[in-house]
Amino acid sequence: MEGITIRPMTEDDLDAVLAIEKASFPSPWGRILFLGELNSAHSFPMVARNSEGIVVGYICPMLVIDEGHILNVAVHPRYRGHGIGRLLVKKVLADCRFKEAEFVSLEVRPSNTVAITLYRDLGFIVTGRRKAYYENGEDALMMEYIFNDDKGND
């Protein structure tokens, strides 16, 4: 999407991030969880901003040794369907590849068909299922993006 920039999340972004989180999830993360991600040695949360400087999405990935993991990603409802989520996930994949990760994993609700379609389009595969993972008892699909040995062909 034109005019979208992705940069590291800062504490100044948290009000906007929390508003997106609340609009996106039935059991949203609170400020303390996001502060934990900002202060973690393994996490590198990022925000997407539009040309007016408004935070329109965010992603919270982490990298431990050679394993990347996406903990949380959301786009403001008003800006969905414009490729912002795709840009955020692709940025994480590029950063994890650069840092020599073997794969990137995530969990997603089976009912979130839009997200599942995006992840599959980007090359993620379903690797398992976590029973009753979410607070409402819904399972989680476990998905992974596995980097090829040839670092130029993903």
What share of the chain in percent tops pLDDT 90? Answer: 87
User: Which residue bears the tokens 């994480």?
Assistant: 92
What share of the chain in percent tops pLDDT 70? Answer: 95
The per-residue pLDDT for 137 is 87
Report CA torsion sign: 109, 68, 9, 85: negative
The answer to whether position 117 is within a domain reads yes
The answer to whether position 73 is within a domain reads yes
Residues linked to residue 76 through DSSP beta bridges, in sequence order: none
Question: Domain limits at 117?
Answer: 5-146
The per-residue pLDDT for 153 is 45
CATH number at residue 23: 3.40.630.30
| The length of the chain, given as a count of residues | 154
The answer to whether position 50 is within a domain reads yes
Structure letter (DSSP) for residue 65: T
The answer to whether position 52 is within a domain reads yes
d(CA 57, CA 87) in angstroms, rounded, equals 10
The answer to whether position 152 is within a domain reads no
Q: Which helix (H) or strand (E) holds 14?
A: helix 14-24
Q: Which residues, 6 or more positions from 134, have their beta carbon under 8 angstroms from its beta carbon?
A: 27, 109, 140
The pTM of this model reads: 0.92
The answer to whether position 72 is within a domain reads yes
Domains in the chain, number: 1
The answer to whether position 153 is within a domain reads no
The per-residue pLDDT for 126 is 96
The answer to whether position 125 is within a domain reads yes
- CB count within 10 Å of CB 102 equals 13
Q: What is the largest CA-CA distance in the chain?
A: 42
